[in-house]
Structure 1
Amino acid sequence: MSIAAPAADSVEADGDTLTRIQPDPETDARVRADDRGHVFHSWSAQALIDPLPVAAGQGATFWDYAGNAYLDFSSQLVNLNLGHQHPDLVQAIQRQAGRLATIQPSMANDVRGELARRIAEVAGDGFEKVFFTNGGADANENAVRMARLVTGRRKVLSMYRSYHGNTSTAIALTGDPRRWPNEPADGSVARFFGPYPYRSPFHSSSIEEETQRALAHLEQTIVLEGASTIAAIVIETIVGTNGVLVPPPGYLAGVRELCDRFGIVFIADEVMVGFGRVGEWFAFQAFDVEPDLITFAKGVNSGYVPLGGVVISDRIAAHFDTVAFPGGLTYSGHPLACAAGVATFEVFERDGILERVRDLGSRVVEPRLREIATRHPSVGDVRGMGLFWAIELVKDAGTREPLVPFNAGGTDAAPVTAVAAACKRDGVWPFTHFHRMHIAPPLVISEDDLVRGLDVIDRALSIADEHAAR
């Protein structure tokens, strides 16, 4: 039996027409039963979870079947850049499905070609080709494959604080604890410490010193691992899930210089921060640096249909002019996904999304978070760009002891779990990871909703304050 669309009506609030979902306990129970009976969820102990049945979404808001509305302050998995049910994206998919639902990747397709051209244009000079994948993990897999084939080397370097996906090489590249139970995977990966001024692994006393010491550490790692064995360095331009770590001035330029000096391919993982998240088409463009390969997914079409890819520098693309690239996917550049991607570009350009993100980030989010930090003893640091920020929670601002331990779970994570629960009760769905809260709403969120969400987080942090030294 199919499930009908939830009943809804419209209400007026502050001059805006908003959707209100009517409670539907019968459908809620049926969705829960099907999910718990048959869906095997990722990253979870199956008997210990209770997923929320979601009835509908619109813009920056989604509803459950009880009629509760939540501001989506995580953009789901930091992918819903243009929000829920954006009419332009929905219509683009509908039109494409009515004309040509799918075609194999070895054939030419109009929306696939147009999206590739548009992506190459915003990537900048020196990028003309795009290889499409189904998501971010296989984008990173294929970028590493390209680097290995071009250099004739095998080893890849990545950061400890990183996430690059859940396929074989991507999970080996990942630095966070999700890698641990998946080992051994690709054995040709070595890790290094990236810059983290608030918790400097190099005992730095200034931002400038952090850059200098982080680059010296990376150079030493290259030398000790054997520069002649290293195909690529993979870096999240701004580290995402593992902290919203914005690289200090000069760091990425220094990585570029090291790659050039040692003949190493620089891969920028832009899966989370690309396509407007920080107010740039690609985040590396805010740091005056140019990688060799750019991986993307998520925001390219807000995940309406799965899509990812690799933007390939001309130098690397030329290697495959007469040498076959040994890789491909049945759904590479799927027309429905690409149609939504083309529509994304049109919305960004028409509505000034990049400018909007920069404005809201600098005028609304940053000053509010810095003000929040002055009032809450549990807030050790705030950092970010555009509409991508982290609040780092601590037990003691002096010692910087995290509010919960690294990789905490169960009762150890209770203080942060309680903060998240308070946000949800107040109508905001937050993004938390270990001892941090991340701010990552859809880029189309209204300023009023953005302020309201920050107000909710401000109030919820009083719970964290109860566990912090004063």
Structure 2
Amino acid sequence: MTTQTAQTDAQVRADDRAHVFHSWSAQAKIDPLPVAGGEGSSFWDYEGNTYLDFSSQLVNLNLGHQHPDLVAAVQQQAGRLATIQPSMANDVRGELARLIAEVAPDGFEKVFFTNGGAEANEYAVRMARQFTGRRKVLSMYRSYHGSTATAISLTGDPRRWANDIGDNGTVRFFGPYLYRSAFHSTTIEEESQRALEHLEQTILLEGPGTIAAIIIETVVGTNGVLVPPPGYLDGVRGLCDRHGIVYIADEVMVGFGRIGEWFAIDAFDAKPDLITFAKGVNSGYVPLGGVVISDRIAKHFDDAPFPGGLTYSGHPLACAPGVATFEVFRRDGILERVRDLGSRVVEPALRAMAEKHPSVGEVRGRGLFWAIELVRDRETREPLVPFNAAGADAAPMGAFAAAAKEGGVWPFLHFNRTHIAPPLVISEEDLVRGLGVIDEALDVADGYTV
């Protein structure tokens, strides 16, 4: 490392530690990596260490670092019209809304833009409450919907615990998760049926006439990459129809190609009333999210004013790389390559790891979105680290992560799982190399098994 580079690294660290307040962290106990740059599926630090980004940062960098088409779109828009308020019509805002509507399920023509996924879920709930005149919202225990007031109340994972002081209209339920079934199921068919029976009982006991919406991540993201079993989402749709409840599909993490579909809901047998999105719509180059609104709900607001808005709703600098995203997806066959790489490369490699490593309890996923669930004991399925582990309790996962980073892969960890979620533009060569690093790092996890 040159003297100049060392000075830059030191300055970045000093400024960060002195002035940046980081999310979800005890500030004195973290040491953020100074990142010097990135390209494609990799990024690097000031010391010259390069990492394959197997988490796509926060599963948002679908088209990778510094994609030239997205960068050019931001630059060109900034030179033409940097911003305009949302009450005015704007060409790239309207074009992106049209493009989103064209790939959404039939009967979805309107898009409300937000600055990110949490706001998208906030506003979807607001729409559902206004539409139904009801207040309660049902969400899964294994879920993450954002950290703003209503979104964190909807969230099931432990990040809610210290923040559960906002929206008091949330009721939680168990979703399907055969590997750790709350319903003692032994088959995927049983799990789907019993999870639906549990949800129906929750609805009946809460009072169907009090429930505005059910919000579900189409594929549960951070909390496990839980792919819904056959018939489950269609069953949710049926329960919502029966009781006049709005079905919200949270596609913030899995929309725009993550599992090889424009919207993940396209891979399953159900149709929601509202679809929330963010992240992959423009790979996070400028903050953007939104709600795709079914015609029947949009019609409610033809004459009744919608009580909500944002200064930066549909910001041109965010919408421009969104439009470019559609162009890249279609030109480069992104959806097709995600499906191909997922089934031909990732799944066989992970199945082989599951056979080889005693620390692997289960692998699951689709496209370029997979989870490896790590255990101490395959027979009892005891997690490699306890639920919500921190400090010394989380050491085995920390050791696994260190081994992956030493091999040049930046992993995505949550509790006792590592997720496989690289940029959708990753080359097959890099994907195979990264999976090889994960395979070797699992040798470290194996050392903690019984």
TM-score with structure 2 setting the length: 0.99
Cα drift, residue 288 of structure 1? 2.2
State the alpha-carbon separation in 2 of the partners of residues 174 and 365 from structure 1.
29
Q: Which residue of 2 aligns with 1:431?
A: 412
Which ranges of structure 1 fall in alignment gaps of 5 or more residues?
1-5, 8-21
Cα drift, residue 304 of structure 1? 0.0
State the alpha-carbon separation in 2 of the partners of residues 395 and 428 from structure 1.
23
Q: Is 1:99 aligned with 2:80? A: yes
Matched to 2:60, the amino acid is: N
Q: Which residue of 1 aligns with 2:94?
A: 113
Deviations 1:316-350 (A, max 9, x none): 00000001000000000000100000000000000
Q: Which residue of 1 aligns with 2:62?
A: 81
Q: Which residue of 2 aligns with 1:53?
A: 34
Q: Which residue of 2 aligns with 1:230?
A: 211
Alignment of 1:199-278 (within 5 A): 199-278=180-259
Q: Which residue of 2 aligns with 1:324?
A: 305
Q: Is 1:450 aligned with 2:431? A: yes
Contact 1:136 1:271 in 2 (8 A): yes
Q: Which residue of 2 aligns with 1:419?
A: 400
Cα drift, residue 449 of structure 1? 0.2
SS at match of 2:109: strand
SS at match of 2:51: strand
State the alpha-carbon separation in 1 of the partners of residues 142 and 105 from structure 2.
28
> Which of 352, 363, 376 is the aligned partner of 1:371?
352
Q: Is 1:180 aligned with 2:124? A: no
SS at match of 2:249: strand
Q: Is 1:37 aligned with 2:15? A: no
Contact 2:93 2:315 in 1 (8 A): yes
> Which of 293, 311, 315 is the aligned partner of 2:296?
315
Q: Is 1:143 aligned with 2:129? A: no
State the alpha-carbon separation in 1 of the partners of residues 105 and 99 from structure 2.
10
SS at match of 2:386: coil
Cα drift, residue 24 of structure 1? 1.3
SS at match of 1:140: helix
SS at match of 2:400: helix
> Which of 314, 323, 346 is the aligned partner of 2:327?
346
TM-score with structure 1 setting the length: 0.95
Contact 1:23 1:66 in 2 (8 A): no
State the alpha-carbon separation in 2 of the partners of residues 156 and 314 from structure 1.
21
Contact 1:23 1:65 in 2 (8 A): no
SS at match of 1:267: strand
Contact 2:175 2:195 in 1 (8 A): yes
Contact 1:105 1:333 in 2 (8 A): yes
Contact 1:158 1:190 in 2 (8 A): yes
Figure out how many residues of one structure are paired with residues of the other and give that number.
Answer: 450
Which ranges of structure 2 fall in alignment gaps of 5 or more residues?
none
Cα drift, residue 289 of structure 1? 1.2
Cα drift, residue 124 of structure 1? 2.3
Cα drift, residue 183 of structure 1? 1.8
> Which of 167, 183, 199 is the aligned partner of 2:148?
167
Q: Which residue of 2 aligns with 1:15?
A: none
Alignment of 1:185-204 (within 5 A): 185-204=166-185
The Cα RMSD (Å) is 1.0
SS at match of 1:153: coil
Contact 1:56 1:64 in 2 (8 A): yes
Deviations 1:73-107 (A, max 9, x none): 00000000000000000000000000000000000
CA 304–401 in structure 1, closer or farther in 2 if over 3 Å, else same: same
Q: Which residue of 2 aligns with 1:403?
A: 384
State the alpha-carbon separation in 2 of the partners of residues 125 and 117 from structure 1.
13
SS at match of 1:24: helix
Cα drift, residue 125 of structure 1? 1.0
Contact 2:40 2:426 in 1 (8 A): yes
Deviations 1:109-155 (A, max 9, x none): 00000000000010021000000000000000000000000000000
Q: Which residue of 1 aligns with 2:138?
A: 157
SS at match of 1:295: strand
Cα drift, residue 297 of structure 1? 0.1
Alignment of 1:297-308 (within 5 A): 297-308=278-289
Matched to 1:361, the amino acid is: G
Matched to 1:117, the amino acid is: R
State the alpha-carbon separation in 1 of the partners of residues 198 and 4 from structure 2.
56
Cα drift, residue 23 of structure 1? 8.1
State the alpha-carbon separation in 2 of the partners of residues 264 and 288 from structure 1.
18
State the alpha-carbon separation in 2 of the partners of residues 256 and 290 from structure 1.
7
State the alpha-carbon separation in 1 of the partners of residues 280 and 221 from structure 2.
14
Cα drift, residue 412 of structure 1? 0.1
Q: Which residue of 2 aligns with 1:358?
A: 339
SS at match of 2:110: strand
Deviations 1:392-443 (A, max 9, x none): 0000000000000000000000000100011111110000000000000000
Contact 1:23 1:67 in 2 (8 A): no
Contact 1:300 1:344 in 2 (8 A): yes
Contact 2:105 2:266 in 1 (8 A): no
Q: Which residue of 2 aligns with 1:132?
A: 113
